[in-house]
Structures are given as C-alpha cells and as structure tokens.
Amino acid sequence: MAQEVVLEGFKFADTATVHGQPLVLNGVGISSVLSAKSTIVGFYLPRKQTTAEAALSEKGPKRIQFYMARDVSARDLSNAMLDRIRQNVPTEEFAANIIQTAQLGTVFGNRQKVLKGDLVMVDYNPATQTTEFSLNGAKIGETIKGEAFFPMMMKIWIGPKVRGSTRDALLGGPQKS
C-alpha cells in the first residue's frame, strides 16, 4: 500500500515515476530563508540515500518536489535559489555552469508571484541530461541542459551551507516542523 508523508499539511507520495522510472521518497524537510519557512521540499531518488555525496551522485532520473509555504515574488524565489547555489557550490563548478544558472533565473520569469500551496517539480532526465520545471503540473521555463545542473539544484537544500535540520530530513532523518 502506498504511504504518504505529510509535513506542514503538504503531502508527498512515497513513490513517484519520472521519465518512466520508479523513484522513492528519500526525505522531506522544511527550508527557510531569513528564518521564514519558504518551502516544504522532498527528494525522489532511484534508491534511498543517507549522505549528501551519495544523493548527489545517484544515477538515473531524480525529482525535487516542493510546495511554497508562503507567497513569494517570482524574482525573490529565483534570487534565493541562485544565492543558495552560489553559497553551496565551488566557484569552479558555478563558473562551469554559468549558462544554466542564468537560465534558472528566468524559470519563474513570466509570473509575478509564486503562491502559498503552489507545487513546483524539478525533474532530471538522464537520457537527455536535462532538467525541467513545472508549476502546479504545467511546464514552466525552458528546459535546462547539462548533467551537472541538477546536482547544483539539489545543493540548494542539501549543500554544505544549508541548515542541518533541512539537509538531515531530506537525507532520510526525522522531519521537523
């Protein structure tokens, strides 16, 4: 029987299918920006991983799924993601993916706000080495090419300069409200 995890009222199925491959929910956590709950996020991977290194190097399709915990301007959301990438990715890795990070800045560009309860999915397709974004089930932004980009996105929530409770929860530890 399928189980789900509910955190802060947001539901995450215990499995997902991405590009025809079954994935398991690795963990769910709360991410805050400036001490304000911003996203309730879950990682789906081909198999459970308990370390950031293992999760980042996992082969195959992957998904980052997050719900907005509050209304945020689209520009602020993009800027927060870019800031987190800068904080958690070595300078050389960031420089090698500058085009992809610039594309990330435009993903939410055609809207003013992302609203509390909105569901964002970020899917990685290893066959084409692309990352796609969707908002409430509809594709948004351009597909971003490059195998190295998706792990950079993961580091927004499990990078070395992320709050430990968020990283631990996404790596299968207890979820904390």
d(CA 39, CA 72): 10
- Residue 1, pLDDT > 60, answer no
State mean pLDDT over 85-112: 92
pLDDT single digits (tens) 115-148: 999 999 999 999 999 999 999 999 999 999 999 9
pTM reported for the whole predicted model: 0.93
Which pLDDT band holds residue 172 (cuts at 50, 70, 90)? confident
Look at residue 176 and tell me if it is in a domain.
Answer: no
Rounded CA gap, 154 and 125, in Å? 14
Asked if the structure places residue 20 within a domain, the reply is: yes
Task: Identify whether 175 is part of a domain.
Answer: no
| 109: confidence class by pLDDT, cuts 50, 70, 90 | confident
CATH number for the domain that contains residue 147: 3.50.70.10
Q: Which helix (H) or strand (E) holds 119?
A: strand 119-125
